[in-house]
Amino acid sequence: MSAQSYENELIADDYYSYDNIVDQLKTDKPKEVELTQDYEDIFFHVGAGFSQSILNLKSSNSSDTVAMNGIEIKGAINLMSPFWLAEGSIRNFNSTRDNKASYKLREFELRITRFTPMSRTWFNRVTTGLSARFLESDLEERGVNKDYSTPSLVLGGGLGFNINNRMAIVGDLAFKTSMIEDTIDKNVFDMTLRLDTRF
């Protein structure tokens, strides 16, 4: 074999190896993208479920801890990314009475949520935002109901299980703390179990 033929064969082999490497790089997808191929488009999200709030209440002359059960309706949209959501929710709770006072509660929330897939089935959520809580209670003076409007900071997280590419079961936990002093509604611990849909 001549020196020129041998050199041409080496060059051809180099090009073949280079092309193979390029092809492999093109076909290898980042893990996050691979695990979330069903989330590459922007979705609207609607969900409904059950919520429980454990309220830490404190007035100038009394304090109480009460658990309230209710329902939640949630809507959301992706923020130009499959991994970030803007969420809004409404919660309405059953009236509750204990040996200290009676309580009625409604709540509105706005959150920013980071969605992270752990596998094709499971994902986790980290969220923060603001809530507006409207509480009616006679804790300060028995038999005299007073309304309290409380803006609160929300920090939370949760886990989700994909039933299919359009439906998921989601469990969330959240801690909320009042942003004002003029309220009896000081701190809240929330638990929510919900069915989410996306379209």
pLDDT digit string, tens, across residues 86-116: 999 999 999 999 988 999 999 999 999 999 9
Indicate the number of domains in the chain: 2
**Whole-number Å distance between alpha carbons of 9 and 16:** 11
Residue with tokens 């300060």: 140
Q: Which two tokens stand for residue 7?
A: 């050199």
pLDDT digit string, tens, across residues 3-49: 555 555 544 555 445 555 555 555 554 545 544 454 456 889 999 99
**What's the confidence (pLDDT) of residue 38?**
47
> Does one domain contain both 108 and 182?
yes
**What's the confidence (pLDDT) of residue 18?**
53
> Does one domain contain both 15 and 105?
no
Higher pLDDT, 57 or 9: 57
> Does one domain contain both 68 and 157?
yes
**What's the confidence (pLDDT) of residue 78?**
93
> Does one domain contain both 77 and 124?
yes
| DSSP single-letter state for residue 32 | H
3-state DSSP helix/strand/coil % of the chain, to nearest 5: 15, 60, 25
Q: Which domain range does residue 180 map to? A: 42-198
Q: How far is CA 20 from CA 16, 27, 30, 114, 128, in A?
A: 6, 11, 19, 37, 46
> Does one domain contain both 105 and 164?
yes
> Does one domain contain both 78 and 106?
yes
> Does one domain contain both 16 and 47?
no
> Does one domain contain both 71 and 15?
no
**Whole-number Å distance between alpha carbons of 107 and 72:** 9
| DSSP single-letter state for residue 36 | T
**Which CATH number does the domain housing residue 171 bear?**
2.40.160.20
Q: How far is CA 96 from CA 21, 80, 133, 140, 150, in A?
A: 66, 41, 16, 16, 18
> Does one domain contain both 22 and 48?
no
Residue range 36-65: mean pLDDT, rounded: 85
**What's the confidence (pLDDT) of residue 27?**
53
Does 67 have pLDDT greater than 90?
Answer: yes
Does 79 have pLDDT greater than 80?
Answer: yes
Q: Which two tokens stand for residue 103?
A: 């309580």
Confidence (pTM): 0.76
> Does one domain contain both 97 and 15?
no
> Does one domain contain both 123 and 98?
yes
Residue range 151-165: mean pLDDT, rounded: 97
pLDDT digit string, tens, across residues 122-156: 999 999 999 999 999 999 988 899 999 999 999 99
